[in-house]
Amino acid sequence: MNNSGDKLSFSKRKDSGRIKQIGFFAFQLVKFKYQLNNLSRILKPVVPAGEFSMLDKAHLSFSSLFRHMLFSVLCFFAAWMMVVIFQNVIHAFLLYLNGIHFSYSLFTISYLPGDIYEWDEGSMLLIYSLPYFGYFLLGAFLASKTGRMLLISWKLRLLLTWISIHLMVFFMAAVLKGVFVYREFGIAFQWVIEVFYLRLLIAGLFIAFAVWYVKRVAVYLFLKSVPVRIFLSTEILRNTWLSWVAGFSFVPGILLAFFLWRPFMSFQVLATLMIFPLIIPAIIYSSAFISDIRIPKSMKLVPSYTFIVSVLAILWVALRLLSGYSFIING
């Protein structure tokens, strides 16, 4: 009799376990369908009821959203190039001040044989540490100023937003690279902190703080860059705008940079590719906490496909040609 009771009890527990498994998978299926539904509403948003003009509502069409995304790709790529060129100029200037000979090109700097002995500890720490913190602070300052500007178009505001983000992401990418690679910021980072796991911990803390700050300011700046107020009318439309101009645009922008810089700056592209997936979802999620944003009046027209693709192609080809030239500079 006891054996029969044990078998019955075991059978009941087994059936209960199966019910729990079925319930778990059913919940996951419902959750997945809900997420697909939200994604569909973001890709093809429903025009909300309200006092919106036909021109405003036209911005919600797939064609307009795709052009917004392409224009954001152009801004993303142009901003990244400006930041990298700017930091390369700053780096070259510091090398010149410290009497170090080097070969300068648009995106990279290489050193001449025999000049390794001109380095001292102070010069190394100055050149490979302080400027990177300065880029983050400059990005934060530009973000603050961009948010307060009134008499600029939404297109220029979007470009300035990407420039400020790239300045801060450049710092994060440098810290991440510095943990593993003895190059650029990593030279000072690994010289000061020799223990790998300690570097990894400190880099994680730096990047976590930077992601929190970038997310905090970027969501406001992106929403401030909308061409029409219809994108601010509901949470789903705010997510639509952020997904198209931030979520969908960074991957094509990174691919453009990869094909421009390969094979010389692969670490830069890889580190940036690892940073942005940390930032973009946080930006989109944070839109739920933005209640009121005032946008200045500006032209509502979206650039055409021809304009965007032409400017992007001209910019890419020009940078590709210019990056092939180098100059020897004696400090």
Look at residue 1 in the predicted model and tell me its pLDDT: 47
What is the pLDDT confidence band of residue 170, given thresholds at 50, 70 and 90? very high
Look at residue 304 in the predicted model and tell me its pLDDT: 85
pTM of the model: 0.84
- In which element (H, E) is residue 127 found? helix 121-127
User: From its phi and psi, is residue 114 left (phi > 0), alpha (psi between -120 and 50) or beta?
Assistant: left
The arithmetic mean of pLDDT across residues 241-261, rounded, is 89
Query: Rounded to an integer, what distance in angstroms lies between the CA atom of residue 250 and that of residue 280?
Result: 9
Look at residue 310 in the predicted model and tell me its pLDDT: 92
Residue 283 half-sphere exposure, CB side, CA atoms within 13 Å? 29
Residue 9 half-sphere exposure, CB side, CA atoms within 13 Å? 6
The interaxial angle of helices 130-148 and 62-97, nearest 10 deg, is: 140
Look at residue 18 in the predicted model and tell me its pLDDT: 60
Look at residue 77 in the predicted model and tell me its pLDDT: 94
Comparing 193 with 297, the larger pLDDT belongs to 193
Q: Concatenated DSSP letters for 25-44?
A: HHHHHHHHHHHHHHHHHHHS
| Domain range summary for the chain, segments of one domain joined by + | 1-43, 54-329
Task: Give the least confident one: 143-157, 177-191, 276-290.
Answer: 276-290
The arithmetic mean of pLDDT across residues 149-169, rounded, is 91
What is the pLDDT confidence band of residue 174, given thresholds at 50, 70 and 90? very high
The arithmetic mean of pLDDT across residues 221-245, rounded, is 86
Task: Give yes or no for residue 27 having a pLDDT over 60.
Answer: no
